[in-house]
């Protein structure tokens, strides 16, 4: 059982790396997760710790989708009032 937990943990960690990656053109692959990653860095976490935070968020997101049998709907930031 422990082996499966380690393998699953590694899968989510590598998924987190992909979610915060920046393309050669400089555009984040997934801007919301990249912003969350950078927020964790600013809070004082090192990069591996911040990636673990992203991975845990992915676990909660995927678990919620499986539990409610819903598809992924990307989060879109709403523009704040008065910024137009």
Structural domain count, the chain: 1
- Residue 40 inside a domain? The answer is yes
What would the pLDDT profile of 31-60 be if each residue is shown by its tens digit?
999 999 999 999 999 999 999 999 999 999
* Distances 40 to 24, 29, 50, 54 between C-alpha atoms, Å: 23, 18, 6, 9
32 falls within a domain = yes
Q: Say which residues have a Cβ less than 8 Å from residue 33's Cβ, sequence separation at least 6.
A: 16, 19, 20, 54, 57
Instruction: Assess if residue 82 is contained within a domain.
Output: no
Residue with token string 């004082």:
44
Q: Is residue 33 part of a domain?
A: yes
Confirm whether 80 is domain-assigned: no
Range of the domain at 39: 2-68
Q: Indicate whether 20 belongs to any domain.
A: yes
Per-residue pLDDT of 7-34, as tens digits, reads 999 999 999 999 999 999 999 999 999 9
37 CB burial (10 A radius; 0-12, 13-18, 19+): buried
Structure tokens at 30: 């997934």
pTM higher than the cut 0.85? no
């Amino acid at each position: 059982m422990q082996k499966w937990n380690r393998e699953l943990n590694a899968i989510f960690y590598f998924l987190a790396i992909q979610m915060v990656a920046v393309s050669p053109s400089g555009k984040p692959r997934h801007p919301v997760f990249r912003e969350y990653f950078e927020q964790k860095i600013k809070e004082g976490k090192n990069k591996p710790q911040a990636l673990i935070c992203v991975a845990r968020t992915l676990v909660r997101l995927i678990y919620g989708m499986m539990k409610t049998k819903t598809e992924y709907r990307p989060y879109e930031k709403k523009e704040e009032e008065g910024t137009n």
